[in-house]
């Protein structure tokens, strides 16, 4: 059995008994019922994921920044040159990116995974995982971005990274990404899996002008018409219009779900990858936490399709894992309540 098949087979539904116990415990805590809103629902769901109430505290947290390049950049869908991907990888490793700053603030760790960067990293570091499947994708608007074998290999990179991080003690995984041009395949993936129109899911990425945005929408439309990706064949969709980092993040989500560890999704890249993960293993959605609502229009379409509500909405559109890292203390707080808050009986507080 392949690693992917083995992982999908290991993913199970949320534990109903643990969820019921968490829900019942919330009713005994020193607060009005339902007063913590969606945090209560999240705590209950994480109990179901862990299969025990209260669930383990989701810590420490590790954000894995999956990096890859894209042949579709030839279609001038971004004003940024391809070499920025590799340069930003070096910046992550040096600790100089926004995600590094947010990770220092929250106490999360950052690892970088080269799954498809066009130029080999110019530096090595303890937090760099070199797992390059190929040096960037092909141009999805003229041919499949990847072969099925390459797409599967990238998914399995993500599975292995998740498993390794959990084995090393991570209690919460967070997705990150880096890849100039990667919002174009993200839009194509979201359109393919949800049936939404290209124009409704294609955003402005790093802040492109109207002319470039119009060209980008056209590229996504052409790719969908050329490949006619079948959402019932998620590996085929990833191969036709995905990116190496998208495929690896899909595997990362599956790996976390198989280990019953929560995975906080970052922005539109992670949301598009999560659609692929859900298509491969529907029960994987139980491990997904939508960290924030990206300003990219496709993100809301993807999250709605997954049935996930984002924890914060700050108008972010950076990627890197920034929104996921910011959301992690909220996720931890949802579980901390079930551990630390006194009951009415134990605190001697009268109930209504």
Residues known to be catalytic = 320
Structural element, H or E, at residue 208: none
Among 181, 67, 69, 86, residue whose Cα is nearest residue 135 = 69
CA-CA-CA-CA torsion sign (275, 281, 285, 288): negative
Strands 172-178 and 61-68: parallel
Please, which residues have CB within 8 angstroms of residue 89's CB and are 6 or more apart in sequence?
Answer: 67, 112, 114, 117, 121, 128, 178
Dihedral through CA 151, CA 155, CA 161, CA 166, nearest 10?
180
- At 73, phi and psi to the nearest 5? -60, -20
First to last CA, the chain: 56
Whether residue 249 contacts residue 155, with contact meaning beta carbons closer than 8 Å, is answered with: no
Helices (H), 32-147: 38-50, 83-94, 98-106
* Structural tokens at position 141: 């608007």
CB atoms within 10 A of CB 270: 34
């Amino acid at each position: 059995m392949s690693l992917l098949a083995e992982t999908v087979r290991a993913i199970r539904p949320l534990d109903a008994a643990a969820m019921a116990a968490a829900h019942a415990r919330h009713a005994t805590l020193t607060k009005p019922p339902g007063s913590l809103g969606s945090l209560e629902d999240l705590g209950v769901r994480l109990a179901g994921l862990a299969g025990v109430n209260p669930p383990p505290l989701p810590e420490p947290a590790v954000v894995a920044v999956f990096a890859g390049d894209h042949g579709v950049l030839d279609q001038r869908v971004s004003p940024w040159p391809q070499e920025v991907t590799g340069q930003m990888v070096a910046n992550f490793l040096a600790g100089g990116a926004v995600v590094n700053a947010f990770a220092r603030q929250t106490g999360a760790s950052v690892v970088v995974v080269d799954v498809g960067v066009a130029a080999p990293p110019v530096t090595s570091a303890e937090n760099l995982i070199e797992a390059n499947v190929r040096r960037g994708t092909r141009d999805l608007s003229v041919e499949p971005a990847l072969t099925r074998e390459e797409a599967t290999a990238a998914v399995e990179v993500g599975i292995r990274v998740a498993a390794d991080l959990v084995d090393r003690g991570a209690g919460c995984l967070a997705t990150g990404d880096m890849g100039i041009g990667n919002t174009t395949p993200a839009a194509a993936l979201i359109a393919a899996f949800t049936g939404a129109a290209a124009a409704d899911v294609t955003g402005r990425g790093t802040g492109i002008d109207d002319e470039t945005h119009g060209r980008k929408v056209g590229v996504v439309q052409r790719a969908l018409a050329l490949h006619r990706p079948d959402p019932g064949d998620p590996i085929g969709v990833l191969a036709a219009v995905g990116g190496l980092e998208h495929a690896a993040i899909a595997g990362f989500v599956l790996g976390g779900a198989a280990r019953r560890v929560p995975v906080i999704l970052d922005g539109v890249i992670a949301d598009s990858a999560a659609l692929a993960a859900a298509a491969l293993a529907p029960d994987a959605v139980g491990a997904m936490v939508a960290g924030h609502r990206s300003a990219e229009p496709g993100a809301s379409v993807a999250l709605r399709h997954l049935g996930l509500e984002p924890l914060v909405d700050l108008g972010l559109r950076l990627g890197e894992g920034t929104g996921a890292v910011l959301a992690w203390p909220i996720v931890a707080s949802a579980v901390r309540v079930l551990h630390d808050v006194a009951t009415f009986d134990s605190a001697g507080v009268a109930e209504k």
